Amino acid sequence: MIEINSVSKRYGDKKIINDINMTINPGELTFIVGSSGAGKSTLLNLIGGLDTISFGSICYNDVDNMDNLTQYRSDHVGFVFQDYNLITGLSVKKNIELGLHYSHKKSRTIDRQIEYLGVRDENQSVETMSGGEKQRVAIIRSICKKSEIILADEPTGNLDSENAHIVLEMLTEIKKGKHIIVVTHDLGLAHEYGDRIITMKDGRILDDKRRFVLGNERAVYRRIVNAASGDSGQDRDCIQQKRRLINWKTVWVLGLNSIKMRFSKIVSVAFVVAITISALALIFDLNSYGASLSKNVNVNYLETDLIELYYSFSANSSYKDTPFRNTDIERIRNKYNAKEIVPIYIKRDGEWIFSNGNMSNAAAVKQINLDPFFEERVMSYDIDGNFLQRDNEIILASDVAEKLFQEQCIGKEVSLYTGMGEGISLKIVGINHTVNPFDQIYSFVSSEKIKELLEKELEAVLSERLILEKYSDRDPTGGFVRSGGTLGPVTEVKGTEEILYGDFPSKKDEIMISSALLPNALHDFEIQQTTSEDRIKGGGLPESITDELFSTKIVINHNGLYEVTISGVYQSDQNELRLPQGLLHEMKNNIEPTMLEVYLPETTKVMYVKEKINGEEEFDANTQLDGLRMNVGEQLSFFNLALLLIGVVTICLSVAMLGSFSKLAVLERKKEVATMKSLGAGNKDVMFTLWFDSLFISLLAYGFSCMLLAGFAAVFPIIVPEMAFMNYGFPLGLLTLIGGGSTMFICFHTWLGMRKLVKKMPAELFAQ
């Protein structure tokens, strides 16, 4: 028995249900009729626990269930709605089974009821059925759930006359022992099928009649009186309800159905999230590789006993251009107990060119001394042939040999060039197959032979393009300071030149320039920029300008820094320079290394010596490991920047897409959530069902991330072949960690978007 005691319902200041008292007995088919706005559906929602009452109480079998409406709906109530409220995408049978799952019941009569009530195919998706068939499914769902209370809100509103009668006859057949309440506008159907007709107006019961059968089965309705059983402000009795568990089967069924219905949207969101996860994983992982590089390189070919020495930037000389004098080399050898020192005359990584006829190939060159120290070291590598015995010999890198010769080449000659165009010829005595930690294969050449190449290069500079620059005392922080750039070929002062301004050099550090070069010099050295060239070349310069020109300190950066001044300008139509014999001889013959490779007897002291040099000397020290780290850093910086940008963009895009997806899910799933709740689903059931999409997005994103990173690991050595030594692997642990964090974020984001939806009463959701 259902007892309604002084029940009222307010929405804001408006009273929809006003102090209703009545009792509904089992076995009766009760109709509630009235005009629109009378409060019929609201009263039905209160009886079924789809909405909360404002005052009074509703008891079923002497128990007030209003304190646990979820349990009440689950255990006792079944609904038949005008809009059917079946879950789109699910079959007939799965829709029927949902109510059983939420009420934790089992039924052996589902198939029989489906057949008995005329539903043709239990596996048919409900969205493909007619209105009458859908309504029958809704009734079967309530019957199989074994609901003692069946509430039907306009169950015939969307049906034709034939199907309307079928539905009401079904309700009539199952009314025994049940409380069946039907809300309708159709008084004809109410009088034809109703055992009791309640008329409502303005939230009150206007009339309440029960059918009585007289002779010859003539039915009449007599008014009944319901006594009030309490006042509107009474306290409701509360009883301890059993603890509800989450029904994981329904979570699984509805979750899979949601994925099926929204698959393309879910895949799109998951792929964007996967890009974010992959980008972040790569940023962290590649940085980790750079930070722990010493543990990841092939240490067998990393020269851990080597320190590289070079002068840093100065205002007038660029990086590694300042040479080491012989006195410097001996002092370094003695002070730091060097076992071996290799003078490096040209250090231009990536600018060495080997050629054979019309074939050429860029390669790495390792300069060595021809002595037992390097013979033992080099021949410990994978070498075919012999060690160098003379300066004109070379051990050629195997990749260069394959490219230039395509056959056995030991005993043949190969030409070696720098980026400046000068070259030397070398005889091949061996082939090196060893790949170093920089993913290069060295060609071993005598340091003294490279000196010969430098001499040719400097000779070409003197004869073609020696550059004069204005001396600078500016702070060189940030690099080489250039001022000016007057250039021209160099010859020795002859003493027969026609002097236009000034005089012949009287000291070794004085030079002359031609009159043709003078306009450029005045401009480049920022002395005078307005006088015409004809006047300059014709001897018409004021003495103030020539005095400034002759007092300007000039530098020549030519395997060392030479500070000079201009003593005179001679008449000539050619852009050229004249140097005194002593200075020209020094520049041609004093060829010195611009870098030293120092090998120490103990690798354990390398870092100590490096720090000592950097703290005490004018020049800088670096180790090969530092160079390797720098190389890796340079190579990875682009990827990290690109990945960081991708990460930032995709994070924003992911959040935006997740937000849009959540909003769409809220709009699309309001009716589904209301239906779930009307069948007995609790807030946790609903939340976990909604989280199913989030978890699937996370798993799918994780899978996409694995594929993206696996692809990156495969193409990384191809994209950056010089980084192949890193043996970049698959960062499963890091990916899993970031993926787990992403899952937590997505679930939290879903909770933020869905928490209000989950807490709403079913009646409110149905109304939206």
Token pair for 462: 């003197």
Q: What are phi and psi of 687, to 5 degrees?
A: -65, -45
Instruction: Please determine, for residue 242, whether its predicted confidence score (pLDDT) is greater than 50.
Output: no
* pLDDT (mean) for 353-357: 91
Model pTM greater than 0.75? Answer: no
Confidence of residue 215 (pLDDT cuts 50, 70, 90): low
Residue 342: per-residue pLDDT: 95
Question: What residue spans of 347-407 are helical by DSSP H?
Answer: 372-378, 398-404
Q: Are 155 and 82 in contact (CB under 8 A)?
A: yes
Quote the CA–CA distance of 581 and 331 in Å, as a whole number: 31
Quote the CA–CA distance of 482 and 147 in Å, as a whole number: 93
Q: What is the DSSP letter of 128?
A: G
Quote the CA–CA distance of 307 and 654 in Å, as a whole number: 48
Residue 296: per-residue pLDDT: 41
CB atoms within 10 A of CB 711: 11
pLDDT digits (tens, 9 = 90+) for 429-481: 999 998 877 778 999 999 999 999 888 888 888 887 788 888 877 655 545 44
- State which of 306-310, 633-637, 736-740 shows the largest mean pLDDT: 306-310
Give, for 272, the enclosing helix (H) or strand (E).
helix 263-291
Terminal CA-CA length for the chain: 32
* pLDDT (mean) for 260-267: 86
Of 657 and 311, the structure prediction assigns the larger pLDDT to: 311
132 contact partners, CB below 8 Å, separation of at least 6: 159, 160, 162, 163, 166, 167
Confidence of residue 338 (pLDDT cuts 50, 70, 90): very high
400 contact partners, CB below 8 Å, separation of at least 6: 354, 361, 363, 414, 441, 443
Confidence of residue 66 (pLDDT cuts 50, 70, 90): confident
Instruction: Please determine, for residue 234, whether its predicted confidence score (pLDDT) is greater than 50.
Output: no
pLDDT digits (tens, 9 = 90+) for 176-187: 889 999 999 888
Instruction: Please determine, for residue 294, whether its predicted confidence score (pLDDT) is greater than 50.
Output: no
* pLDDT (mean) for 37-54: 91
User: Minimum mean pLDDT among 163-172, 323-332, 343-352: which range?
Assistant: 343-352
* pLDDT (mean) for 100-109: 75
Of 591 and 627, the structure prediction assigns the larger pLDDT to: 591
Residue 199: per-residue pLDDT: 93
Residue 409: per-residue pLDDT: 93
Question: What is the average pLDDT value for the chain, to the nearest integer?
Answer: 82
174 contact partners, CB below 8 Å, separation of at least 6: 139, 143, 150, 180
Residue 315: per-residue pLDDT: 66
Of 478 and 492, the structure prediction assigns the larger pLDDT to: 492
Q: What 3 state SS string does 283-351 have?
A: HHHHHHHHHCHHHCCCHHHCCCCEEEEECCCCCCCCCCCCCCCHHHHHHHHHHCCCCEEEEECCCCCCC
Instruction: Please determine, for residue 20, whether its predicted confidence score (pLDDT) is greater than 60.
Output: yes
Instruction: Please determine, for residue 335, whether its predicted confidence score (pLDDT) is greater than 90.
Output: yes
